[in-house]
Structures are given as structure tokens and as C-alpha cells.
Amino acid sequence: MLDWKAVVAVLVGAVTGLIIGAAILAFNRDSEAAPFSFLFKVTDRIEREYNSLGTPADSGPPKEYFASSFTGIEGTVVSVPRAEIPGSGGGLAMIDGTAVVMTFRGRIYLTNESGDVEVSAVDVPDNGLEGYREVAASAEYGTPDFRHRFGRLRYNDIEYLSNESGRYLFITYTDFNAERACYSLVLSRLDLGEAEISDVTASADDWQDVFTSSPCLPLRAVNLAIQGEEAGGRITFGPDGRTAYLTIGEYGWNGWDSDGRTELSTRSLAQDPDADYGKVVSIDLQTGEATHFSIGHRNAQGITFDAEGRLWSVEHGPRGGDELNLITEENNYGWPVVSYGTEYDGAPLPNVQSVGRHDGYAEPMFSWLPSIGVSGLTSLDGFHDTWAGDVGAISLRAGTLFRIRTVEDRVVFTEAIEFGRKLRDIEQADDGELVVWTDAHEVIFLRPVSGSFGDQIVARYLDELSQTDPAFADIMSATFAQCSTCHAYNRDEHRIGPALALVYNSRIGAHPTFDQYSDALIAESGTWNEAKLTAYLRNPDEAVPGTSMVNPGITDDRVISEIIDVLKQMNSGEVEPGVD
């Protein structure tokens, strides 16, 4: 039973957290000053408690349900420890059913759907953070002109590769060179040998640098000294496993945000053939040879190959102009010469060639206006039959998974599946399971519900009935099809009306994730017991005067009784989500 005192306490805490969170944002959301670090930890604790509300302590990781057009989705939510200071980033890789997550501070954790969490014995290379702290405190760089946010010097991505040469972990990170007071993006590789990932022990020196971006960028006295949130740093591998494709952001070096300290600050690095920034770089993993595969990118935060072997990426625009791009070799995608985005005050971007147009450069396949904070990207093959061939993009600002259907070189639709939290990275396991890494340091394991919960119970009932009474099975099949025009049978998969999976014995007009009830149903007291359901199915307006439900015209007592029996099964726990 739900502890209502806990509900009230968490709601009060949530309101308090929102106020505190607003204060953090208003002042400095990633400051390392003690007061802000303390508030950060408090709001993080409130968020975690709120997300687990109503989950018994001994029931394992909490589960959440997300509605989509063709299937409901069940998510198992596992939390890993937060870093000691505010910040976000990192990524995840999947190895034989284990989620290998790396925080923005470079700590690696291993977790799984059962909720087990352990700290990996794999240490990552030093990214020069302590050296950066010393330089930032020096006479030259410790002035108010330089704004230092140490959480922005971060680890960006982690990926797993198995090919004929062996098994490897790859990571990317922004590396600070204290001697030269400059930074680069580094791609490093760790040979795993034959050991299980939980048995691998490695030091920082065991990693091999595969690629380092050039030139090494100096600290800037404009915006942030290091705009590490625009590093890109996402990795994917070619179908043959021999080539890595690495996104490198421009770190804010767009040519107009210039401090005038160096000639470099006046150049648009994404268009500069002598700079690796604002590019997708292909790297031969045997020879180490690197090539600018495509140029004109701002901050590509996701990259993947689809089932047809095409390379896709998603990248952040400024205010508006987040993009989904089909990446082809030697193409120029236009940043910062063209963009569907604007300055953050709404003004046109400086020096843009055609405001609101993308003339003269490779067009995005899709662009989000306003921006969604697009982040990870993965192929969706193997998750569910109705998703086969699609790609999935996730978002920070929108807190949403976008399922994207492409046909040839065009986008047919994007379906928004809301998660209500910032989604940082997404991967697909070998068995088709989707796994998401969030900025709240959660790992969410996702499986389809459709055909394995409400829909499955209906299908099983009709199949069994057809064996004993095929004529009546046809009647019931037509009846359930009629109901499904307005209602889905999977939990939290709503249509015009609410999902029916858990309606039996639930409070009338009170499904927690459906908010389109009529005033009459909201005002009605009681629960959907057998008597109430029988009356409502016979004549909705007579049972609940003023309801918006159309009379289904069901007059056969046996039909009504059978419908209610199936609704009882849906709420009995006889068939668990995810069981075929």
C-alpha cells in the first residue's frame, strides 16, 4: 500500500527542490563552491526519492512504463553513485548484458537489469584536471576574464568493440595540457583480452592513445575558458569493425565569439581544413590514419550506423537548429555558415549566409525547432517488430526518446516518447534491449510491453476461446477490436481513453498517467469493480451521467461478463511484462 505520508513528504521536498534548483540555475548551475555543491546533492536526492516513490524497498529496481504508438515500454531504473561535484556527461557501452557506464568524471561502473552495481577496477587516463585547476589559479588565467568550470573538462563517451583483432574498450575525453595551457580531444583504447568485464583490472597507463585532435586549443577569455559541453566525442564503428567514426565538436570556436587573444579565435574551426574540430573523423584502427570524413558540424552528440549501413548523426544547434544528418564522405553540413538556429536572444547568427535557410550545404534530414538538446543516437533493430529499421535519438532538454522512421533518404515521422528526465546516451544490447544513461546517473533498461502484457492476455483469451466456441470468439474479437479504437490494453499506453490494463479495481477517473478524463469521471467516487463496470458497459451515461464515453452498444450479458473477466486477468499479475 502506498505510504501517503511519504507521498506528502516527497511532494513537499520536490517543491523545495524546484525552488533550490531554480536558485542554482539562477546563480551558477555547475559551480564547485560549497553551497552550490550541497544544494546539488540535495536536489539530486529529492529527484531520486521522487522517482522511486511507491516502490517497495525489497522489490528490486523500480520500474516505469512509457507509452508509444505501437508498443508500451517497460523500464527498469538502476541508480549509480553521483560525482562529488555538479556536472553531466559520460556515456555507456553494453558488453554481454552488462551496462558499462562512465561518468563525466571518468569513474566506470558496471550494472545490470537486476540492479547490481559495482565499481569497475578499470581506471581511465588522467585528463589533466588537477593541472587545469593550477593553471586556472595562476596570475595569467585567474583573472575575471576567464570563467573556469572544471566540470566541463569531462569524459565524453565509452564504447565496446569486438573484432578479429580482439576485444576493446574505447573512451573519449577532453585532455588539458598544463605545460601549454591548452586542450584537445583524445580517443583511447584498452585491450580487454579474454576476461569478463567484471574481472578486468587496468591502470591509466594501460590505455593506448589512438587519436588526439589538433591544434591544441588555448584557454579563452570569452564565454567559458573551456566549453567542454561542445566537445562532441561520440564514437561508432564501421560494419567491418576496422574503422572508428569520431565526432569532434568545435568547443565554441565559431569565429565570432572571439577574445582577440589569438588569430585562431577569429576562425570558424568547423570549416577550417587544418583543424580537427567541427568534424566527423574516420580512423583506421590498424594504422591509426585519420581523415576528415565530413565537416561543418557544431556539436555532434550521437552517431550510429543503421541496418542498411548508412551513417547518421545528431548534433546540437544553438537556439533551434538541432539536426539529424545522414553523413556521407566529404560532405559539408554548413556550420557556422548556415543553420536553422539563431542566437540565444533570437537574433540571426553573425555572418550567417541565409537566415532560416540551409542553402549551399548538405541539408539535415530533420531539424528540431525549438532545440531539444539532442544527445545519443542508436539503431533500433531487434527491439520490436514495429520499430525495425528505425533509429532512436534521445534528448536532454526535452527528456524524450524520438523514434525516427526513415525511408530511403527522407524522414517519414518522428515519434516523441517522454521520459521526464535528461537522457544522455543510448545503446542497444545484443538481445535488442535498449539501455539509456541519464544525467541523474540512472541506467534505464527498456523492453517492449506490447504482446506480452495486456495485448498478450487478450490474444491468449481469444485463442483459447476459438478452440471451444469459434463463433463466440469471433464476436469477442470484434468487441475487443471495437474497444481498442479508443483504448489500449497495455499499461500507460493511452489513446483517446486511458489504458485498460490495470483498470479493474482501480479508482474511477484516477489513472496516474492519463489526464484527459471528463469532469463527470473525475467527480465520480468509488472503484471500477464488477458491478460498476457492468453498469458502465451497458450504458455509460446512465452509470456516470455526463461521461464523454460513447455508448458501445453492448447488450449481451455474456459479452460484458467476458470483458470484465479479461480485465481481471490484466490486473491479476498472471502474465508479467516482458514474458512471451
pLDDT at 476: 95
Higher per-residue confidence, 138 vs 48: 138
Average pLDDT, the chain: 88
Same domain, 314 and 405: yes
Nearest partner of 223 among 100, 318, 99, 115, judged by Cα = 318
Nearest partner of 174 among 153, 157, 158, judged by Cα = 153
The whole-number average pLDDT for the span 489-502 is 82
Higher per-residue confidence, 63 vs 396: 396
Q: If pLDDT is split at 50, 70 and 90, which confidence band does 374 have?
A: very high
pLDDT at 569 over 80: yes
Q: Does the residue 497 lie in any domain?
A: yes
Same domain, 186 and 152: yes
> What is the C-alpha separation between 60 and 366, in angstroms, rounded?
39
Same domain, 41 and 154: no
Report in angstroms the alpha-carbon separations of 20 from 10, 43, 184: 15, 7, 35
Under 8 Å CB-to-CB from 529, ≥6 apart: which residues?
Answer: 504, 505
Same domain, 344 and 323: yes
Nearest partner of 449 among 53, 58, 69, judged by Cα = 69
β-strand pairing of 91-95 with 423-428: unpaired
pLDDT at 536 over 60: yes
Name the residue range of residue 490's domain: 454-570
User: Cα-flanking dihedrals φ and ψ of residue 552, to 5°?
Assistant: -75, -10
Same domain, 106 and 26: no
pLDDT at 548: 92
What is the separation of C-alpha 379 from the centre of its chain, rounded to a whole number of angstroms? 13
Q: Does the residue 576 lie in any domain?
A: no
The whole-number average pLDDT for the span 232-258 is 96
pLDDT at 488: 84
pLDDT at 19: 52
Q: If pLDDT is split at 50, 70 and 90, which confidence band does 524 have?
A: very high
Q: Does the residue 560 lie in any domain?
A: yes
How confident is the model over 103-135, as pLDDT tens digits? 999 999 999 999 999 999 999 999 999 999 999
pLDDT at 484 over 70: yes
CB 280 within 8 A of CB 211: no
Higher per-residue confidence, 59 vs 186: 186
pLDDT at 386: 87
Q: Does the residue 54 lie in any domain?
A: no
Same domain, 122 and 148: yes
Same domain, 459 and 437: no
pLDDT at 60: 79
Same domain, 144 and 21: no
Q: Does the residue 579 lie in any domain?
A: no
Q: Which three cell numbers stand for residue 531?
A: 458491478
pLDDT at 358: 92
Task: Give the whole-number percent of the chain exceeding pLDDT 90.
Answer: 73
CATH of the domain at 243: 2.120.10.30
Q: Which three cell numbers stand for residue 300?
A: 555532434
The whole-number average pLDDT for the span 529-533 is 95
> What is the C-alpha separation between 534 and 92, in angstroms, rounded?
50
DSSP per position, 466-500: HHH-HHHHHHHHHHHHHHTTT--SSTT--SSS---
pLDDT at 547: 94
Q: Does the residue 340 lie in any domain?
A: yes
Q: Does the residue 491 lie in any domain?
A: yes
Q: If pLDDT is split at 50, 70 and 90, which confidence band does 501 have?
A: confident
CATH of the domain at 490: 1.10.760.10
The whole-number average pLDDT for the span 477-497 is 87
pLDDT at 392: 97
The whole-number average pLDDT for the span 295-322 is 96
The whole-number average pLDDT for the span 321-326 is 96
Q: If pLDDT is split at 50, 70 and 90, which confidence band does 448 have?
A: confident
pLDDT at 38: 59
Given 420, 448, 476, which residue is the final one in a domain? 448
Q: Which three cell numbers stand for residue 326?
A: 545522414
Q: If pLDDT is split at 50, 70 and 90, which confidence band does 29 have?
A: very low
pLDDT at 399 over 50: yes
Given 402, 421, 448, which residue is the final one in a domain? 448
Same domain, 510 and 413: no
Find cell 456516470 and name the residue: 544
- Crossing angle of helices 4-27 and 34-51, rounded to 10°: 140
Q: Does the residue 52 lie in any domain?
A: no
Q: If pLDDT is split at 50, 70 and 90, which confidence band does 65 have?
A: confident
Same domain, 425 and 496: no
Higher per-residue confidence, 107 vs 45: 107
pLDDT at 26 over 50: no
Q: If pLDDT is split at 50, 70 and 90, which confidence band does 493 have?
A: confident
pLDDT at 579 over 50: no
In the chain, the number of structural domains is 3
pLDDT at 580 over 60: no
pLDDT at 34: 53
Same domain, 146 and 178: yes
Same domain, 156 and 278: yes
How confident is the model over 81-103, as pLDDT tens digits? 998 778 899 999 999 999 999 99
